[in-house]
Amino acid sequence: MRIAVFNGPNLNLLGIREPEIYGTTTLGEIESRLERIGAELGITLLFSQFNDEGRMLDAIHNCYGVVTGALVNAGAWTHTSLAIRDAFTAVQLPYVEVHLSNIYAREPERRHSWLAPGAIGIIAGFGADGYELALRGLVTALRNQGADA
Ligand code: DQA
């Protein structure tokens, strides 16, 4: 089973970006932890991070037929982009939405997600650990739905 892990704008700066909100774990460290869990679960992970929304849409399109599911932290696009949800829907790619912070306990403009209505589930507020929780939840859900391996 192949799982894509998408990170959106500014998440390349994890580690130095507002550590009081997002913690000090870097995106590279998060991806290394996910790699270990991926090996444990017997799945293949494909990592990408984008500061350009069009490129992220293209990358979602490229998953068509070759990727079983996705984790996505769309960063600020969570609160602005119906196009990202539409892209996942268009290529029939099930996804779990991840946020390091609890977006529902933050400023009003962060309390709405355009991705949430299409997600299998959402993990928010557990910092970097959320990616691990989301990956385990996604793989369990896909296997329960009869996905390969
Ligand atoms: C975030 C929350 C968003 O509101 C913010 O724009 C981010 C990170 C999170 O992981 O908590 O870039 O998605």
pLDDT, tens digit, for every residue of 104-137?
999 999 999 999 999 999 999 999 999 999 999 9
Tell me if 101 CB under 6 Å of ligand 1. Answer: yes
Give me the pLDDT at residue 111, please.
Answer: 98
Cβ 80 under 6 angstroms from ligand 1: no
Give nearest CA residue, ligand 1 atom 13.
Answer: 75
pTM exceeding 0.85: yes
pLDDT tens digits, one per residue of 45-97: 999 999 999 999 999 999 999 999 999 999 999 999 999 999 999 999 999 99
Q: pLDDT confidence of 40, banded at 50, 70, 90?
A: very high
| Residues 139 and 66: beta-carbon distance below 8 Å | no
Model confidence pLDDT, tens digit, residues 11-24? 999 999 999 999 99
Regarding the beta carbon of 99 and ligand 1, being less than 6 Å apart is answered yes
Q: CA distances (Å), 132 to each of 30, 86, 95, in order? A: 9, 25, 14
Query: pLDDT tier at 41 (50, 70, 90 boundaries)?
Result: very high
Q: Which of 78, 98, 112 to mutate to test the pocket of ligand 1 (most atoms within 8 A of CB)?
A: 78
78 lines ligand 1 (CB under 6 A): yes
